[in-house]
Structure 1
Amino acid sequence: MKFSAYPYTRPDFAHYQVTFDAAVKKLTAATSVQSASLAIEQLNQLRQTLFTQAKLAYIRHSLDTNDPFYEQEDDYWNQQQPRFDELHNRFYRALVTSPFKTELEKIFPPTLFLFSEDQLKLVQPETIPLKQQENEWISRYTRLIASAQIDFRGQTYTLAEVAAFFTDPDRSVRKAAQAAYEHFFTSHETELDEIYDQLVKLRTAIARQAGFKDYVAYADVAMNRWSYTRQQIQAFRKFIVTEVVPVTQKLYQQQAKRLTLEELEYYDLPLQFKTGNPKPVADQTELIQLAQSMYQELSPETGSFFQQLVQAELLDLTSHPGKQSGGYCEYLDSFKAPFIFANFNGTADDIDVLTHEAGHAFQTSQSTWITEPELVFPTSEAAEIHSMSMEFLTYPYLDRFFAEPDKYRFAHLSSALTFLPYGALVDHFQEAVYQHPDWSASQRKKCWRELEQRYCPEKNYRTSPALMRGTFWYRQGHIFEVPFYYIDYTLAQVCAFQFLLRHVIEQDPSAWSDYLTLCQLGGSQPFLTLLAKSQLASPFDFTKMSPLIKKISAQLEQWEKAVQ
């Protein structure tokens, strides 16, 4: 069945509640492990069906935010999702209080019980109206970004499309493109400030209502950070400042030399080579065909997986007006099928996004044995290892996509390393904002700019008063839509570096099997346990992270010489 034929039906809350409560009653009344297990399996099936309908509505709304039917469905889920979440707490409570809990923990993934305990801390009936409002403000942000129509050089573009000019070899073109892009955000500055101010206040109220000191503490529980603490995250950020930022600054100095510029302006940063960044040699249709052949060669598992994506039309990659920005992968539980969403713009980013989201999708194809819909994807920092590693695991096949694949490898790895400070910056900024929920919009911008100078001192904004006062974060949808889902990318990135070194550089034959193991485990284990089972060093083990960063830096030097 093709994605377009997947049926969507808005669930009736009252009917679902009756069916769900009856299944929960079976669990609470169970007189044996076997009867309790059967009740859990029924509850898994009910949640799978519901989650699938919610995700179908989300995907189809994001494909066209102007579609009136799915706009109504988006509004429905904004209102009803918090009610479904509160209803599901009845299952989580019955699970963790079951007299057969010890036996059930040997049958079902341990993370199901950890997740249940977290949800009981987070979801309170009193917070439902607040969460409904939060969803409405998030939708307002996504619709605003999707509505962008950028006039540039006599044509109209989406944000994704105009971003393609950021790497134009002509400096005046990329400067003008950045200005046009920036104008959209500055022209909506008041609205963006209002949206974020409302989100900060609502989230703070939600956290306090649930008994947390602030939203930072609430968010760490919401992100299921089961095997590490906020203090370890802060130590990791400090590691990035002290050991990664000096390396990235050298990369930017070398970049300036390659571009024959005395100093990089902010609009120069995306351009790696004076002759232009590497671009794919094919259009979208050909890229899919090339990717299909690549995945067939990579492994039998990836070959069959990608064939399923193509045959069922589970990819939507082209940018167009009204389409939500960014890229993502969703998993449709009832169909055991992933869906990849992207906004191709003809740059190397298209390959980044395709391989990244394919990593997510491949992991779900290996985790279909997991019947708990909350656990098919692991926690975010683990999930991003699959995607970021897949970007590296495809390095040997890049000559299919680029005329100069070495240039892409250097540019891509350089971008991955320089991302670490930015990812830490986003987390630090959010931590500061939610610890000071009464800050004004100008205070938040001031905080961003001060932190930006610490983590990303290469950002030279002297020609942009708006960016100088700290507005760049408007572009980062995660800050609005999924708060605190960002340090996860940096934790995953250093894990993905390990797969790069083992699989591509050292050609360790066990690297692929370890990656496959990681994918197959899905969300059945906490983050640090997943790392141990797939032979990966913890990001919090700085005695191993320091030499890792040195190895990546050395590899970049080697590839830069090869390119020159």
Structure 2
Amino acid sequence: MKFKDYPYEHLDEKELHARFEQIEAELKDAGDYKAFYEAFQKLDRLDRHIQTMSSLCNVRHTIDTKDEFYTKENDHYDHILPLVQNDMVQAVKTIWASPFFEELKKDVPETYFLQKEMDMKAFDEKIIEDMQEENKLASAYQALIASADVEFDGQHYSLAGLEVKMNDANRDVRKAATKAYWGWFEDHEKELGDLYDQMVKVRTKMARKLGFDNYIPLGYLRMKRLDYDQNDVANYRKQVFEDVVPFANKLYARQQKRLGYDDLHVWDEKIEFLTGNPKPKYDRPEMVKRALTMYKELDPETGKFFTFMTDHDLLDLDSYPGKAAGGYCTFFPDYESPFIFANFNQTSHDAEVLTHEAGHAFQVYCSKDIVPSDCVWPTLESCEIHSMSMEFFTYPWMKTFFEDDVNKYYFNHLSGAVKFLPYGVLVDHYQHEVYAHPEMTPEERMATWRTLEKQYLPHKNYDEIPVLERGGWWMRQLHIFMDPFYYIDYTLAQVCALQFWARIQAKDEQAFEDYKKICRLGGTLPFRGIVKEAGLKVPFDDGSLKEVMRKVDDWFASADESAF
């Protein structure tokens, strides 16, 4: 069955509530463990069905934000998902109070219980209306970004579509395109600032209703930080500042020298080479075809997985008007199907979609049979290990996409992985400041971003783009609006992925076997446990960045830039 034929069912809130009540009664009335576990499995099947329908709705809505039916259904989920969460929390409380609770621990991964304990701490009926409002605001941000129509050089572009011009080899073209891109954000600066202000306030209100001083501890609970806390994250940010920022600055200086410019402006940052950045040589259908060959050659398991994805049309990759920005991987539990959503833009990003998002999809494909469904996916920082590491494991096949530009791609990709780390911790640090001081005005938040930006990204040159000099870059970062505190995850995973890269460089044949192992583990272990099972060092540990950065430094020291 193709994705377009996957049945969708409208979920009625009263019917769902009745099904939860019935299952809760069965959990309470169970006379023995067998009956109790059957009710537990029934709860899990209902959860899987709700996940499937809400994910189908989200995918079809983001594929076409102008589709009236799925827009209404999306609004419907904004309303009912907090109610569903309330019903789920009540059922979980019943499980916790059951005489069979201890026996259940023998059959269910520990992470299930850790997650549910966090869910109970992070939820109460009194915040349902606030959660509904939060969902509406997130949908409003997504719709606003998707509605962007930027006129440039006589044509109309979405924000994602305009990025191809911002990567143009011609400096004048990318300068003009960059100004047009940020001109849209400047035109909508007040609207975006007010929207985020409302989000911060409603999240702070929820936190205070639950007894927290501010949103930060609630945000950590909602992000399922199972085995680390704010102190671990702060120490990790400190390591990035000390061990990565200086090296990233050297890379920017090398880039400026390589380009031969007096200054590296914001419109130059995406360009690594005067001859142009590496671009895939093929269109989307041919790239998918080559990706299928790549995954068949990489490993029998990855070959089987990607064949499934292509046979069922589980990739929507083209960029077009009305399609939501960004890219993601999701999962439909009822159909045991991952799905990849992206916006191809004729840059190296397109190849990375077929590795990064495919890494997510491969992991969930490997762990799809884990029960309960809460443990199919790991927590998000662990999820990103699978995606970012797959980018490195597929290096030997990048020539099939980039041909003679493949060495450019390696240089560009590894450089980008390093340069990303300071930006990623900047996004995290910014959010800690915002939620620690929710009384800040939109203008003060802009200034806060710019202050932190000068700390982590001191090379930034925003000449001629005043909205960025005021601190406006954060407005383009979807995660800040829609998924608070979901960004440090990418950097933690990147450090792990770089360790896999170092093992690949050392021709460690066990590396991919360890990778497949953690994909099969899904979410049955917390972050630190997954990292150790992969044979990697935990990024929070002192010195973990120094070692891998030395190996990266060695690679760049031997790279022959004159060949580019």
1:134 partner SS: helix
Deviation at 1:146, TM superposition (A): 0.3
Equivalent position of 2:493 in the other structure: 492
Equivalent position of 1:418 in the other structure: 419
Alpha-carbon displacement from aligned partner over 1:198-239 (angstroms, at most 9, x marks no partner): 000000001111122211111011111111111110011111
What code does the residue aligned with 2:441 have? S
Bigger mean CA offset, 260-269 vs 312-321: 260-269
CA contact (8 A) 1:96 1:113 kept: no
- The count of corresponding residues between Structure 1 and Structure 2 is 563
Residue 272 (str. 1) matches residue 278 (str. 2): no
CA contact (8 A) 1:95 1:113 kept: no
Equivalent position of 2:209 in the other structure: 209
List alignment gaps of at least 5 residues for structure 1: none
Equivalent position of 1:242 in the other structure: 242
Residue 27 (str. 1) matches residue 27 (str. 2): yes
Bigger mean CA offset, 546-555 vs 241-250: 546-555
Percent identity of the aligned residues?
Answer: 43
Deviation at 1:559, TM superposition (A): 3.2
What code does the residue aligned with 2:220 have? D
Change over 3 Å in CA distance of 1:114–1:149 after alignment to 2: same
Deviation at 1:536, TM superposition (A): 1.3
Equivalent position of 2:543 in the other structure: 543
1:330 partner SS: strand
What code does the residue aligned with 1:49 have? H
2:310 partner SS: helix
Equivalent position of 2:188 in the other structure: 188
Equivalent position of 1:427 in the other structure: 428
1:444 partner SS: helix
Equivalent position of 1:344 in the other structure: 344
Equivalent position of 1:114 in the other structure: 114
1:374 partner SS: helix
Residue 474 (str. 1) matches residue 449 (str. 2): no
Change over 3 Å in CA distance of 1:8–1:545 after alignment to 2: same
Equivalent position of 2:464 in the other structure: 463
CA contact (8 A) 1:502 1:508 kept: yes
Equivalent position of 1:439 in the other structure: 440
CA contact (8 A) 2:531 2:537 kept: yes
Equivalent position of 1:157 in the other structure: 157
Provide the rounded CA distance (Å) in 2 between the counterparts of 1:103 and 1:502. 41
What code does the residue aligned with 2:499 have? Q
Residue 532 (str. 1) matches residue 532 (str. 2): yes
Matches within 5 A, 1:46-445: 46-403=46-403, 404-445=405-446
TM-score when normalising by structure 2: 0.98
Deviation at 1:175, TM superposition (A): 0.6
2:374 partner SS: coil
CA contact (8 A) 2:55 2:332 kept: yes
Alpha-carbon displacement from aligned partner over 1:226-253 (angstroms, at most 9, x marks no partner): 1111111001111111111000000001
CA contact (8 A) 1:384 1:489 kept: yes
CA contact (8 A) 2:360 2:384 kept: yes
What code does the residue aligned with 2:315 have? L
Provide the rounded CA distance (Å) in 1 between the counterparts of 2:357 and 2:96. 34
Provide the rounded CA distance (Å) in 2 between the counterparts of 1:97 and 1:366. 33
CA contact (8 A) 2:122 2:218 kept: yes
What code does the residue aligned with 1:251 have? L
Deviation at 1:560, TM superposition (A): 4.2
Deviation at 1:101, TM superposition (A): 2.2
Change over 3 Å in CA distance of 1:289–1:562 after alignment to 2: farther
Deviation at 1:501, TM superposition (A): 1.4
Deviation at 1:87, TM superposition (A): 0.7
Deviation at 1:105, TM superposition (A): 1.2
What code does the residue aligned with 1:17 have? H
Alpha-carbon displacement from aligned partner over 1:515-555 (angstroms, at most 9, x marks no partner): 00110010111111111122111001122321111111222
CA contact (8 A) 1:413 1:556 kept: no
CA contact (8 A) 1:314 1:340 kept: yes
1:339 partner SS: strand
1:267 partner SS: coil
Provide the rounded CA distance (Å) in 2 between the counterparts of 1:4 and 1:460. 46
Provide the rounded CA distance (Å) in 1 between the counterparts of 2:558 and 2:200. 45
1:493 partner SS: helix
Deviation at 1:167, TM superposition (A): 1.8
Bigger mean CA offset, 21-30 vs 240-249: 21-30
Provide the rounded CA distance (Å) in 2 between the counterparts of 1:338 and 1:227. 27
Provide the rounded CA distance (Å) in 2 between the counterparts of 1:560 and 1:543. 29
Bigger mean CA offset, 540-549 vs 259-268: 540-549
Provide the rounded CA distance (Å) in 1 between the counterparts of 2:63 and 2:95. 37
1:331 partner SS: strand
Provide the rounded CA distance (Å) in 2 between the counterparts of 1:534 and 1:105. 25
Equivalent position of 1:43 in the other structure: 43
Provide the rounded CA distance (Å) in 1 between the counterparts of 2:145 and 2:556. 35
1:268 partner SS: coil
TM-score when normalising by structure 1: 0.98
CA contact (8 A) 1:96 1:117 kept: no
Change over 3 Å in CA distance of 1:25–1:515 after alignment to 2: same
Two-structure CA RMSD over aligned residues (Å): 1.1
2:458 partner SS: coil
Provide the rounded CA distance (Å) in 1 between the counterparts of 2:553 and 2:148. 38
Equivalent position of 2:506 in the other structure: 506
CA contact (8 A) 1:92 1:119 kept: no
Provide the rounded CA distance (Å) in 1 between the counterparts of 2:546 and 2:319. 39
2:330 partner SS: strand
Deviation at 1:32, TM superposition (A): 2.8
CA contact (8 A) 1:169 1:275 kept: yes
CA contact (8 A) 1:148 1:184 kept: yes
Alpha-carbon displacement from aligned partner over 1:67-109 (angstroms, at most 9, x marks no partner): 0001100110011110011111022212223222222111011
CA contact (8 A) 2:243 2:545 kept: no
